[in-house]
Amino acid sequence: MVRVFYSILLAFVLLNPVHGQPTTPSGIEQLKQFVKTVRSAQGEFVQQQMRSPKANEPQDKPKMIRQTSGQFVFQRPGRFVWDTQKPYEQKLIMDSKQLLMWDKDLNQLTIRSANQALAASPAAILFGDVVLDQQFDLEEAGTKTNLQWVNLKPKAKSGQGDLPYTQIAIGMSSGLPRALELTDGFGSMVLVIFNSMQINPNVDPSRFQFKAPQGAEVVRLN
């Protein structure tokens, strides 16, 4: 893990302390329990895209390319909304049949098949219609910044072999995913921090519906 990631995560964990846990389950145990028992959730996210430093840049920290933030909601099986609000408005809506990608600035709605959700949104690993231990090998990755990390490696015949990530890790604390880290083969990294997560709320089904405004461009990619 790179230093800047952990400084961000440490600040987050210190501001969101966990109390009353005499013994702490392993990261894998927490992750499996989350997937098994949490049928819906909503909260906030901050997502940072980083790249490896160039030769003429300081080598002890990556370069942040982009930071976005917004809100999310999911409901199993296979429905979630990833609503980016800053610095621009974009929305991903998965309704278990198709993935809708709305870009307000472009006034464009892109429709993809449901099996492209993982490539389009890293959060689908946690919130989508994915059976983790059937599609990934899970490995304990130790405790860092008060989070218990789990590495996920796609199984050869899981159907996830075409993911654009070479490394996937989830940071767990108090039974909840607090962070998601992904690295691709080109040295780019994505760090997602989850905050204010509410577990098993009643979610209105209409939140997973979206109709493009009149005059918007609609692109279908199957």
* pLDDT (0 to 100) of residue 2: 47
* pLDDT (0 to 100) of residue 78: 81
Q: How many CB atoms lie within 10 A of CB 200?
A: 12
pLDDT per 10-residue tile (average), the chain, 222 residues:
49 49 82 91 93 74 86 89 93 87 94 71 69 83 93 69 77 95 83 94 92 92 78
pLDDT, tens only, 82-101: 999 999 999 999 887 888 99
* pLDDT (0 to 100) of residue 126: 78
* pLDDT (0 to 100) of residue 184: 81
* pLDDT (0 to 100) of residue 30: 94
Each domain of the chain, given as residue ranges in start order, spans 23-221
pTM of the model: 0.79
Fold of 23-221: outer membrane lipoprotein receptor (LolB), chain A (2.50.20)
| Sign of the dihedral through C-alpha 200, 203, 209, 213 | negative
